[in-house]
Amino acid sequence: MTTRRIGDAAALVSVPTHVLRHWEEVGALEPARLANGHRIYDDETITRARLIRLCQRAGMSLTEIGDLYRGDGQRRAALVRDRRDRIADQIRRLHAAQDFLDHVLACAHPMVSTCPECSSFAAS
């Protein structure tokens, strides 16, 4: 098993060292400690840190991420389902915005406010 100090671990995860310390402070990450108090990061802890970053990119808070590790299977599934549903809603809204912008680019009306299709986008 490979262990690393915080600087090397931070480089592997592509975050500053203070981020790893913060994740530990809020309970999302639990690196082992040497007798002298220095943090050491094994492969499993590095993987968990990478998963924290992925969860954050998905919009999860550190509290939710901590709950993923501390919760039972039902709690984890509920958290993931909720986040997935929120992302799906964001995607739907972004697609609608993209459709509107595509229309505006092709719109022949001199003003967006005079276009019936633009008005229908605004109504939805």
Query: Residue 70: pLDDT above 90?
Result: no
Q: Which of 16, 1, 12, 80 is nearest to 50 (CA)?
A: 12
Report d(CA 103, CA 124) in Å as an integer: 15
Reduce the DSSP state of residue 3 to 3 states and report it: strand
Query: Residue 122: pLDDT above 80?
Result: no
Residue range 92-104, pLDDT digits in tens: 999 999 998 998 8
Q: Which residues contact 61 (CB under 8 A, 6 or more apart)?
A: none
Domain boundaries, the chain: 3-70
Query: Residue 41: pLDDT above 90?
Result: yes
Q: Which CATH class is domain 3-70?
A: mainly alpha
42 φ, ψ (degrees, to nearest 5): -90, 180
Q: What is the DSSP string of 27-50?
A: TS---EE-TTS-EEEEHHHHHHHH
Mean pLDDT of the chain: 91
